[in-house]
């Protein structure tokens, strides 16, 4: 059985070296926290053009990926460091696919897409080369939509429900970032799963241009 290692909330804080604010600095909290359709209650989402929304309501990162990064960086990387809302242990992060579900008590989440690293993430990590480094690692974590809202709390069991159809993993999706000509067969496979609506529209438009 998988486990919810941490529930992480952020508040508006300055982006290092800039005057703009960010909600990426998320820290573990104790006790029950409400998950609604748009995400964790009281969590800061500043840049709503690129973050939040129904298909990016919850960002999940995985304990095994944090263990890998701790070895890669030569130091312990604590839950919440990558700006995720929930840190889940007992699931192989790289193999999580679109359509996979996580049940935490009454809460039900469904994976929609991978996370694409950005300049704010690099600033948070204090590494100008972080975007490329994170991308090369192929450990993006997963954005989720909220199927059933409710309360979550660190330490609670998580039931992992793999998608029953053709699998398109978050690592595979991340590998397509920056690719001008994506394999049509890959896009068709991805579209059979409940993909993030923006990515779905992109893939459908790309395929339509091939006709």
Domain count, the chain: 1
Question: Sign of torsion, CA 124 125 131 134?
Answer: negative
Q: Is the pLDDT of residue 49 over 80?
A: no
Residue ranges making up the domain that contains 42: 2-209
Q: Is the pLDDT of residue 52 over 90?
A: no
The CATH number assigned to the domain holding 49 equals 2.40.33.20
pTM of the predicted model as reported, rounded to 2 decimal places: 0.96
Model confidence pLDDT, tens digit, residues 15-48:
888 889 999 999 999 999 999 999 999 998 887 7
Written as six digits, the tokens of 164 are 């029953």
pLDDT band at 145 (very low <50, low <70, confident <90, very high): very high
Q: Is the pLDDT of residue 177 over 90?
A: yes
CA–CA separation, 114 vs 112, rounded Å?
Answer: 7
């Amino acid at each position: 059985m998988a486990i919810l290692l941490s529930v992480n909330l952020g508040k508006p804080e300055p982006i290092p070296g800039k005057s703009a604010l960010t909600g990426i600095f998320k820290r573990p909290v104790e006790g029950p926290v409400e998950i609604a359709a748009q995400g964790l209650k009281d969590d800061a989402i500043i840049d709503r053009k690129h973050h939040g929304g129904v298909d990016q309501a919850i960002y999940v990162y995985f304990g095994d990926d944090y263990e890998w990064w701790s070895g890669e960086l030569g130091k312990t990387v604590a839950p919440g460091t990558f700006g995720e809302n929930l840190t889940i242990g007992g699931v192989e992060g790289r193999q999580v696919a679109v359509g996979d579900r996580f049940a935490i008590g009454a809460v039900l989440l469904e994976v929609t897409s991978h996370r694409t690293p950005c300049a704010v993430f690099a600033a948070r990590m204090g590494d100008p080369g972080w975007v490329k480094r994170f991308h090369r690692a192929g450990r993006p974590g997963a954005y989720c939509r909220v199927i059933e809202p409710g309360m979550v709390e660190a330490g609670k069991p998580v039931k992992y429900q793999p998608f029953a159809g053709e699998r398109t993993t978050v690592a595979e999706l991340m590998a397509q970032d920056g690719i001008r000509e994506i394999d049509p067969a890959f896009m068709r496979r991805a579209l059979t799963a409940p993909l993030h609506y923006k990515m779905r529209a992109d893939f459908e438009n790309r395929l339509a241009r091939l006709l």
